[in-house]
Each structure stands twice: as C-alpha cells, then as structure tokens.
Amino acid sequence: MTAQEGFAVDPWGITEHRLDLPGLARSESVFALSNGHIGLRANLDEGEPHGLPGTYLNGVFELRPLPYPEGGYGYPESGQSVINVTNGKLVRLLVDDEPFDLRYGELRGHRRWLDFREGVLRREAEWTSPAGRTVKVRSARLVSLTQRAIAAVDYEVEAVDGPVRIVVQSELVANEQLPESSEGDPRAAAVLEAPLVAEAHHAHGTKATLVHHTRYSNLRLAAGMDHVIEGPDGVSVTSEARHDQARISVTTVLQPGERLRLTKIIGYGWSATRSLPAVRDQVEAAITAARYSGWDGLLTEQKAYLEEFWATSDIEIEGDVELQQAVRFALFHVVQASARSEERAIPAKGLTGPGYDGHSFWDTETFVLPVLTYCLPGAVAQALRWRYSTLPLARERAAQLGLDGAVFPWRTIRGEECSGYWPAGTAAFHIGADIAVAVSRYVRATGDVEFERRYGLELLVETARMWRSLGHHDSAGQFRIEGVTGPDEYSAVADNNVFTNLMAQTNLRAAADAVGRHQLEADALGVDTEETAAWRDAAAAMYIPYDEKLGVHPQADGFTNHQVWDFEGTPSEKYPLLLHYPYFDLYRKQVVKQADLVLAMQVRGDAFTPEQKARNFAYYERLTVRDSSLSACTQAVMAAEVGQLDLAYDYTAEAALMDLHDLGGNTKDGLHMASLAGACIALVAGFGGMRDHGEAIGFRPRLPAGLTRLAFSMKIRQHLLRVEITHEETTYTLREGDKILVEHELEQLWVEVGSPVSRATVTPPAGERPVQPVGREPARRAAQAAAIGGSAMGEHLAAE
C-alpha cells in the first residue's frame, strides 16, 4: 500500500481494500469513469454514503451570476457551471426491509478496483444487516468508450446465511440533493441547487426515461434506462416515474447461495436545439443498441478499445513500480476525458468532478493535447474543432476589446469568457497562441492537410491578427506585446512576458506559412500579401527581454528588478500564497506560482542557448513555489535537459502522484488532467528528451539513477515509433510504416521497419543541484521508490 493514501501498488490498476468513509470524495474522483461525453463519479451503487454525487454530460451547464463589487467595461456578465445531471448510477438494495447502507450493520469486507486494461470499476462487499441477515454484493460499472451515449451497471446480490427477501430499486434521479457548501457566492448556489426543469417522464416494464431542460441555459437533456434481470423463479418487476425520478423495482426471495443479477443499461443525450422527441428518441435508440450488445458485448468492446490503446501508447517504466502505476493511471484518465468528447471542450478536471466549475482552460492545448497528439490524434482534431466552433464568439470578444481577429476565453464551457477577474483572465492572451501551436503540432504530427485547410488555417489567421493588433513596433523597430498575463498567475498585466512573446512569434510564423499552403482559402478570409508580410515582420522583430547584468531572461520586463519574496518569513501554512496574501503584493514581488519562463524554454527551446537554459532554470527554481499543479511537470522536463536528473525524477513523481496522493488537497473536486498529462510529458519530453519543434522529431534521452528502463511509443503520421531507453543505449524501432527520420542527440537517423537503430544514451554532467524556496522543495523520490518497491516485492512474494 502507498504510505500516504492506502491504494495498493499495482502497475495495471488501482485497488481500494477497505471503505474509507472520510476519504469517499477523493476515491470518487480517483475511480471516476468517463468517455469524454458522460462522466460518472465513483459514488457507491446505493448512492449513500457519498462524498460528492456527480453525473456529468460534457457541455451541459447552467448560467450563474458573476458578482462584481464594481463593474467595468468588458467584464463577463455571467458565468457557466457544470451541473450534476440525472443520476443513472443508482441501484438501491433492501434486505428484509433493511436498506443496504454501509454505515449500519456489519461490513465484513469491501473492495473496489479499476483495471486500466478493462476500463471497468468493480466492487465486492459482504454485509450483515442490523437484523442479522448476510448478503454478498458484486457490481461492475462502465462508461462505454465505443458507444458514446451509454453507461452500464452489472449488479448481483447473493444470499449467504438464510432465506432473505430482496428488493432492488434501479433509479434515475434528477436534481438530487448535494452536500451544502460554505464556499462561493450564495446566489450562484441557489441557481445550481435545482437546475433541471422536468419536461417528460415515462416508465414501463424494465424501461424508463426522464427529459429535462436547464432553467437558464436552456439545454435539453434526456436520461433513460433498461434492464436485463436474471434470478430465481417468481421475480416481480414494477415500474414508476414522476417528474424527477423513475424507478424499476425487482423483488424476490433468495435462498442461501442463490443470486439475483440485474444488468442496467443507461443512456444519455442532450442538445441546445433539438426537440424533446428527438432527444428522447436518440437516447432510447442508443439503449436499444446497447441492449443488443449486452453486458458481455459492451465489456468485450471496452477491452478491445483499451487493448489497442495500450499496445500503441503505453509508457513502460522499470525501477519504480508506483510511478509505473501512476503514469498508467494518468494515461487512462486522459483518454477517458477525451475519447468521445467529439467537438466539446476537455475540462481541466475532465468529467471527474465539479472543480473549476467544469471549465476548460489553456491546460488543454498546452498539456493535454501534446500527449494526445501522439497517442489519440483523432481526439485532438475533435478538441480543436470545438475551438473552431467558438470562433464567432472569439471574434465578438476581440471586437469588444478593440482588437482584430479572435480573443479566446481564459475559462469557459461553451465559448464565452467566464473569468470574473480580468488580470488573470482576459489579460492571459497567450491562450490564442496556445491554440495555434496545438494546431500546428497536430498537422505536423499527422499530416492532416485537410484539417488545416478546413479548420486550422482560420484559427491560425484569426489569432495572428489578434497578435498584430495587440502588439506594436516601438521606435527602435522591436515588436512589443504589453499589458498581458503569462502562465504565472502571481505576475499579472506585465509587459513583454517571454512565454507570451515567443508563443506569439510561433503563431505569427505558422499563420504566414499556412497561408502560403492554402492561398485560395486564405483569399476567402481576406488575407493578402501585405498582411502576411506584417506578421512575418512582427515575428522577426519580436522583443525578448534579457537581463545582461544577471545573465538571465526576466519573466517579463523588469521582473528581475522586483523585490524577492520573503520566503524565509513565510510559514508553510501560508501556502498557497494566493489564499493568504493580496494579489497586489504578489504582483510586485519575485515569486512564481507556476513555471513560466521555464515553460518558454520547453516549448521554444530554439530561442535559448544551453548556457541560458541552465542559468535561467537555476534562477527560477529559487523563486517557484508550485502553488499550481501545472508547474512540476514543466520543471521536470527542463531539469532533465540541464542535467538535473534526480531533481527531474522528483518533479515527475510529484506531477504523476498529484491525485493518487492528493498532494493539492483538492482531489475530491476532480482529477487534475493537466498534471496527469504533464506526468507523461515529463517522462517522454524530459527523460526521453523528445522535441517536436522541427520537421524531424528529436530525442536527447537520459535516465535518473532511480529508473533502469523507459519505453514509449508514438504515432507520427502513418508510423508507429517505439523508443526504448536504458542507461547504456537507446533503441528506435519502427513498428508500423515505411521509414522515418528521427534525431538522436542532433544526429539524424533513418529508422525502417525490421531494422531497429541503437545509439548510446548520454548522461550529461549534473552540476550543483538548484535551490528551491524554503519548505517548497519537491519530495526526494529515490528513497521513497526504493521503500515502496521493496514493500511491493514483499507483498508479491507473500502472495506466491
């Protein structure tokens, strides 16, 4: 077991061997199931006890007020919050009239486990009721990765010690009661308390359907269920429905050893435009198709989908079994968040919880999409098509702000800006370049020219237009972008943020190049040679500040002249700083919430010399407090590049274990998708040294002492490349395709199918380990991994 959290260490799954009532909300996030369209928190089948009930449909939200003590021009007028939609997970059990409630009676055993190769949450429990009757309950739950609208529950109850009367109630419940929250705006809480307005309900036989619409955002959604029931002779089935609830009740008497099995198929659908009959019929049709597949068919499809995924996208680690578990946990949840999102956003918490109100941020394009580009590229195309669908709103926002082109929102569900704090929201213009870079990466990695022509070109053009109007050439001819907020939210409304300027430079160049490839479509967008020349001029003249005296790049103009934060005088309980100090104090000090300049060195490594990277990294290490889960993975990548392999190992583990160890204390609100994806980036781009800035993909592999082998595969155009790294050598194997050009330590190699190529793995000189702020050092991984590895081996031998 992990010392911190009590999950068994298993390279292919997560197991909870006992019920942890105080930690229910956290485990509900960890065991959550999703396919990018439907999200089910891992609430117990019977619904209670619970930490935080949650059933989500991607894109279904409610409007809520954004309170402003003082209004201002351009402030968003309303926010958007993901809502808990109709709960179809519920399967209640009564044993001789006693409800199966784990808070009462005697719980003799309880285990839940999730196998990443199966994609099914399984549960076993043995319980004796207060009246003395014992039953065994087994359940399995899945959200289909192949049938987008479908989830299913396989539920079985067995009598143990005598005849027992069993009633199983399978339900759909809308507007279910949520735990009271003392946080946030009470007006918003009131809006979200009962967001669904009933429109239709129906139940007959083993089927039931509920249709609702959201009160203010006016989205229509339907939830339906059907059942297959197996049990002894004489099983009775009744059905009933009302506005917010539908129930199918199954009653029988079980003799010792007899079982009642109920397979529940749940369907969900929603629309902003379609009629009630259309949405209802879509759900009922999906359920009919899933019933045709049956539980066994759904399970077979799920396994086949994941078998193909792991065969082409696994990241293998030797030397740290817990890190191996954590990175597969990360990959599994990133896939769940995106597999069937289909032109919807990928929220920062996926569909695992209501954290961040269910909003999507720059996290998606900067951390999640780079991973998906090389393992699930179709999901990247879907996510970027969602951004494309919001272009009209982004153009409106730009016009409102007096800018050309498109200004994309800092946080949103549907495409409108939902941040009520403009220094961290509207001023974070880099989101436009983040999207543009994601477009360029996708097209370069897949060769999907048709996507670039139909969608990518317009995204690149409109973001380039925004940068050209936001920035200006100064008297010396340099192109400056002023009054913006970069990734580090402890420095706001700054001039010439290095990350922003370099990303804008990439955006401008990519737009000009794309126009050259698609002249006819560019003409239709009104792009002429004068405009593209202006983009290239701005990119060539982009101002990148540099502090000659210190020999480092300031994060933005003047940053290195600010007073350094008093880290020595800041007690550990005052972190995260934003909850204990005013922003005005943070903004005028040298203190970094999350990697900013360091991220610039990762995504635009060509703009820095190796010496600059080493000096910059050391300088910003002593200022970065990692009050954001987005920081550790970036620090891991650059630590590896500058030779600090043990430090990179520490940061990689922090990113990977963010939720399994609840390092931020908020896993209960949902998983950190960017940190999970970032753990994969830390391994592939950090220890694998992968860089994809140019036409040929490059690698500079190196391993920390704590790992003995790292292997991963990548989809690149029509090729499947496998990279295997040990301390002695790195081997490149082309598993699919013809031949591919890769760079190893700047040496160009052609790799062909059937002819692996190996080169020596270089271990760079480490130098002195950089210093972090007092009390903000990452946990040393090597000792922890050794202890956990020994414990896991002992358990394995004991089991044998």
CA-wise closest residue to 149 among 342, 299, 295? 342
Closest CA to 715 of 376, 330, 305: 376
Q: Find the Cα–Cα–Cα–Cα dihedral 767, 771, 772, 773, rounded to 10°.
A: -170
The catalytic residues are: 489
Q: What letter does residue 701 receive in the DSSP assignment?
A: -
Q: Six-digit token pair at 511?
A: 């737009």
What's the chain's length in residues?
A: 800
Given a contact cutoff of 8 angstroms between Cβ atoms, the answer to whether 8 and 1 are in contact is: yes
Q: How far is it, in rounded angstroms, from Cα 672 to Cα 377?
A: 21
Distance CA 698, CA 719 (A): 15
Taking alpha carbons only, the member of 201, 207, 198 closest to residue 248 is 207
Asked if 237 and 248 touch (Cβ cutoff 8 Å), the reply is yes
Tell me if residue 783 falls in helix, strand or coil: helix
What are phi and psi for residue 569, nearest 5 degrees?
Answer: -95, 10
CB contact at 8 A, 562 and 590: yes
Extract the tokens encoding 443: 């097209």
What 3-state DSSP class applies to 343?
A: coil
Q: How far is CA 513 from CA 61, 433, 509, 525, in A?
A: 38, 15, 6, 15
Q: How far is CA 181 from the centre of its chain?
A: 24
Contacts 24+ apart (CB under 8 A), 615-622: 615/551, 615/552, 616/552, 616/553, 617/642, 617/644, 617/770, 618/770, 619/550, 619/552, 620/555, 620/592, 620/595, 620/596, 621/770, 621/771, 621/772, 622/770, 622/771, 622/772, 622/773
Spell out the residues 6+ positions from residue 435 whose beta carbon is closer than 8 angstroms to its own: 365, 384, 387, 408, 459, 463
593 is in an annotated binding site: yes
- Give residue 193's identity as a one-letter amino acid code: E
> Computed from CA positions of residues 589, 594, 600, 605, in that sequence, does the dihedral angle turn out positive or negative?
positive
Distance CA(758)–CA(381), nearest Å, equals: 33
Is residue 431 exposed (0-12), middle (13-18) or buried (19+ Cβ within 10 Å)? Answer: buried
CA distance 445 to 610: 26
Beta-ladder partners of 303? none
Contact 445, 503 (CB under 8 A): no
Q: How far apart are CA 666 and CA 26, in angstroms?
A: 8
Q: Considering only CA atoms, which of 106, 123, 127, 133 is closest in space to residue 43?
A: 123
Task: Name which of 361, 435, 439, 320 is nearest 682 in CA terms.
Answer: 320
By the 8 A CB rule, do 220 and 271 touch?
Answer: yes
Which residues pair with residue 120 across a beta bridge?
A: 115
Alpha-carbon distance of 319 to 763, in angstroms, equals: 18
CA gap 26, 505 in Å, rounded: 41
Sign of the Cα torsion 468, 469, 471, 474 reads positive
Cβ atoms 595, 623 nearer than 8 A:
no
State yes or no: 363 annotated in a binding site: yes
Task: Evaluate whether 769 touches 763 at the Cβ level (below 8 Å).
Answer: no
Q: Are 387 and 702 in contact (CB under 8 A)?
A: no
Rounded to 10°, the helix 321-338/781-799 angle is 90
**How many whole angstroms separate alpha carbon 131 and alpha carbon 432?**
63
Burial of residue 306 (CB within 10 Å: 0-12, 13-18, 19+) is: buried
Annotated binding site for substrate: 362-363, 593-594
